[in-house]
Structure 1
Amino acid sequence: MRLLVLGTIRRRGVTHGYGVHQDLTAWRAETWTNIKPGSIYHAMDKLAAQGLIRAEDSGDPVKRGPARTEYTLTPDGEAEFKTLLESALKSNEFQQMAAGIAFMETLSRTQVIALLEERLAAQEASAVFLRTLPTESQPSDPSKHPELVGMWAGYMEHAVTATRRLLQSLHDGKYTFADDVE
């Protein structure tokens, strides 16, 4: 949630809470993350209280109705965004990785490749480990159930394949990254 909200504000530069909500809804973020539309404003309040975003009255004297609050990233918010993004791109947790992919182009191509190679090494080690776990045809406990072990190993092998495919796309020059723009 923090990465998505910070990244959306960063992408827009200056935005109202409704703008963040509109972007995340338009991106259908609720289908690839655990974000709930009602939690966006709560997250923004927390980020403002932590000094990661700055909230200011829009000062629009023509607008009728209540004043709107505009948000921008603070320097601490920019640093937190980068930290969260780097962590997400190395994560084996699907929803974190999905949020990382959403904003990966804000980093350099070289940096993203390095983070994904780190992720891949961890995934490959996990896949090997999972294939060595003992199983029993009549499992004495769930950790030895062949279906459970097989499901986790299969999940990790699929994650390895997906990470390799993404890395190949990046090596092939796909997408435009921060260091690709002149």
Structure 2
Amino acid sequence: MSSIRLVVLGVILRRGITHGYGVHQDLAAWRAETWTSVKPGSIYHAMEKLETQGLIRAGDSGDKAKLGPSRTEYAITPEGKTEFLKLLEGALTSNEIQLLAAGIAFMEMLPRGRVTELLERRLEKARESVAFLRTLPTEPVPADPSKHPELVGMWVGYMEYAVDVTRHLLQSLRDGKYRFADETSAWEEKTNA
């Protein structure tokens, strides 16, 4: 559920004010179902829950030109922004692939230095995991699954990949790629000059 919370809060924060269909449209356009577990039904369920928890607030769109009832629009609350930032920071240190993907999708909403710090923490945790996993005993005919060479090998390979991906992303950040929250005005000044 935390990756869904993260992406829904992130879309609402990015848009400022939006309705549920706007969140759905963004996530569909981004093909979010390929890198998260977000499904159309989970978006609306998450929005209901976020509203109940006071993380987003609903209001009438005030669209008088449209026939029928007006749409409910949502805005993030200060508590919602705090929750979003907490989830985002947790996602950038996570080894859970869908949560990490959601974190990368919204990483530019943090300062570059903070993202670098979080990814360095993730890299260290991933390296520690690789070192630990390599110490696990295996058996050619395993007595229990924890000693299955293919299972242990899969996890070693996964965590080695996590190390490589994180190193690559950190290098991209050090090379000045992407635009972050603390760089927005400077970036806009350069592009508008």
The verdict on a shared fold, with TM-score over 0.5 as the criterion, is: yes
TM-score by length of 1: 0.98
1:113 corresponding residue in structure 2: 116
Alpha-carbon RMSD across the aligned residues, in angstroms, is: 0.7
Structure 1 residue runs of 5 or longer lacking an equivalent are: none
Point out 4+ residue stretches in structure 1 off by more than 4 angstroms: none
1:5 corresponding residue in structure 2: 8
Q: CA–CA distance in 2 between the matches of 1:70 and 1:48?
A: 11
Q: What amino acid maps onto 1:146 in structure 2?
A: P
Secondary structure at the aligned position of 2:22 is classed as helix
1:21 corresponding residue in structure 2: 24
Q: What amino acid maps onto 1:50 in structure 2?
A: Q
Q: CA–CA distance in 1 between the matches of 2:179 and 2:74?
A: 26
Q: CA–CA distance in 2 between the matches of 1:72 and 1:181?
A: 22
Correspondences of 1:32-111 after superposition (within 5 Å):
32-111=35-114
Secondary structure at the aligned position of 1:100 is classed as helix
Secondary structure at the aligned position of 1:38 is classed as helix
Shift of 1:181: 2.0
Secondary structure at the aligned position of 2:47 is classed as helix
Which range is displaced more, 58-67 or 25-34? 58-67
Which range is displaced more, 2-11 or 133-142? 133-142
Deviations 1:17-72 (A, max 9, x none): 10000000111101101111111111101101110001001112221112100110
Q: What amino acid maps onto 2:22 in structure 1?
A: G
Structure 2 residue runs of 5 or longer lacking an equivalent are: 186-193
Q: CA–CA distance in 2 between the matches of 1:74 and 1:178?
A: 19
Q: CA–CA distance in 2 between the matches of 1:144 and 1:61?
A: 66
TM-score by length of 2: 0.93
